[in-house]
């Protein structure tokens, strides 16, 4: 997966593709020569040579690792009591249904918001240390972060996330730590019977 990043000339690395020189990726990025502190040498894969300023910003395309939980939304909120956890889990079902992504309910501090497709902050997320820390981390990181009200701007999903058929009975299914996307009853039944790949159902 490639991402467009803005980096300093001193941070340009082999494999980067510079926006201003899109024809070839960087093969070798030489360290700054103390004799020429304002210049850094870049040798491109096609044999061309370029010079850049270590202190100037450049736009590059860089291959980055896909997040471990790409395609999954982390739901952060108050889990300080069984009732609060039940409310958060119910809200995570709405998130999965409306945003059309599987959800994981954050039940502690041991989650990395940057490894998820997005983070949804439920009402009351700032009331406990663990959820407040995760929420602040998500808002400060380069992560898509949504508030609870944002979720309800999206309509309820009536399309099965497995077979693609429309049906008013399609709904998220409880998984071990969250919810699947909406799945029709037929696919749920078939998944439980046949262990279909790509359909997560409760154990």
91 band by pLDDT with thresholds 50, 70 and 90: very high
Nearest CA among 38, 14, 40, 8 for reference residue 27: 14
Contact 38, 56 (CB under 8 A): no
Q: Flag the least confident range among 93-102, 128-137, 142-151, 194-203.
A: 194-203
Please state, as a whole number, how many other Cβ atoms lie within 10 Å of the Cβ of residue 132.
16
202 band by pLDDT with thresholds 50, 70 and 90: very low
Q: Tell me the Cα Rg of the chain.
A: 23
Pairing type for strands 57-63 and 17-18 reads antiparallel
Is it the case that residue 137 has pLDDT exceeding 70?
Answer: yes
Q: Give pLDDT, residue 3.
A: 73
Is it the case that residue 78 has pLDDT exceeding 50?
Answer: yes
Alpha carbons 130 and 121: distance in angstroms, whole number: 12
For the whole model, what pTM was predicted?
A: 0.66
Q: Give pLDDT, residue 201.
A: 46
Is it the case that residue 88 has pLDDT exceeding 90?
Answer: yes
Q: Give pLDDT, residue 22.
A: 80
Nearest CA among 174, 182, 162 for reference residue 99: 182
Mean pLDDT of the chain: 87
64 alpha-carbon distance from chain centroid: 13
Q: Give pLDDT, residue 203.
A: 32
Q: Give pLDDT, residue 194.
A: 66
Alpha carbons 98 and 199: distance in angstroms, whole number: 18
Alpha helices for the chain (secondary structure H):
82-99, 129-140, 148-151, 185-194
**Averaged pLDDT, 185-194:** 80
Q: Which residue has the higher pLDDT, 176 or 133?
A: 133
**Averaged pLDDT, 162-183:** 88
**Strand boundaries in 122-177, DSSP class E:** 145-147, 171-174
């Amino acid at each position: 997966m490639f991402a467009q990043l803005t980096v300093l000339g001193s941070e340009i690395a082999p494999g980067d593709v510079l926006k201003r020189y899109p024809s070839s990726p960087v093969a070798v990025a030489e360290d700054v020569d103390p004799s020429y502190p304002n210049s850094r040498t870049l040798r491109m894969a096609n044999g061309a040579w370029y010079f850049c300023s270590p202190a100037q910003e450049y736009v590059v395309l860089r291959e980055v690792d896909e997040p471990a939980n790409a395609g999954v939304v982390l739901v952060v909120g108050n889990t300080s009591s069984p009732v609060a956890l039940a409310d958060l889990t119910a809200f995570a079902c709405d998130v999965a249904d409306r945003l059309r992504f599987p959800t994981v309910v954050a039940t502690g501090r041991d989650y990395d918001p940057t490894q998820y497709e997005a983070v949804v902050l439920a009402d009351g997320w700032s009331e406990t240390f663990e959820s407040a820390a995760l929420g602040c981390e998500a808002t400060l990181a380069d992560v898509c972060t949504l508030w609870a009200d944002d979720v309800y701007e999206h309509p309820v999903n009536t399309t099965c996330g497995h077979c693609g058929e429309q049906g008013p009975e399609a709904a998220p299914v409880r998984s071990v730590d969250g919810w699947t996307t909406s799945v029709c009853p037929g696919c749920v039944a078939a998944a439980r019977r046949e262990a279909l790949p790509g359909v997560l159902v409760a154990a």
